[in-house]
């Protein structure tokens, strides 16, 4: 099953923030599962906590093909509170904190590139 394979590959930690609580983690798709390339395979997956999953799906958070995180510019200058500051803004321009050890399980760079283009256009 997709979710359990993704959790195993990421050692049950969020790729962005390394949060390690299974009940707060999702197996997210890079290319959505309605798309022909959106297969339920580990290289099309990311273990993400609930907030980072929603932020990725809403193009608030982008992941470059070189595994660097970007936060959308419209949120970067905003003053809000600790979740925005520590949960999102501080990850901008930093690498993913958790990646699979096996090369074959790591996020597919061509899929990331396709999704990152959507983030850039948002
Ligand atoms: Zn997270």
Q: What is the pLDDT of residues 18-77, one digit of tens each?
A: 999 999 999 999 999 889 889 999 999 999 999 999 999 999 999 999 999 999 999 999
**Ligand 1 centroid to 53 CA: how many Å?**
8
**Ligand 1 centroid to 97 CA: how many Å?**
9
**Distance between CA atoms of 32 and 75, rounded to whole angstroms?**
24
- Please report the pLDDT score of residue 11 as a whole number: 98
Q: Is 34 exposed, middle or buried (0-12, 13-18, 19+ CB in 10 A)?
A: exposed
- Please report the pLDDT score of residue 115 as a whole number: 97
**Ligand 1 centroid to 39 CA: how many Å?**
22
- Please report the pLDDT score of residue 54 as a whole number: 98
**Ligand 1 centroid to 60 CA: how many Å?**
13
Per-residue pLDDT reduced to its tens digit, 92-104: 999 999 999 999 9
């Amino acid at each position: 099953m997709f979710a359990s394979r993704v959790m195993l590959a990421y050692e049950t930690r969020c790729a962005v923030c390394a949060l390690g609580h299974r009940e707060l983690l999702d197996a997210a798709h890079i290319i959505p599962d309605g798309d022909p390339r959106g297969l339920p395979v580990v290289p099309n997956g990311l273990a993400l906590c609930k907030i980072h999953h929603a932020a990725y799906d809403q193009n608030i958070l982008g992941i470059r093909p070189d595994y660097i995180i970007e936060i959308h510019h419209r949120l970067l200058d905003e003053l809000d509170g600790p979740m925005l500051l520590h949960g999102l803004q501080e990850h901008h321009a930093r690498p993913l904190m958790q990646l699979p050890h096996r090369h074959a399980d790591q996020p597919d760079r061509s899929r990331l590139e396709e999704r990152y283009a959507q983030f850039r256009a948002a």
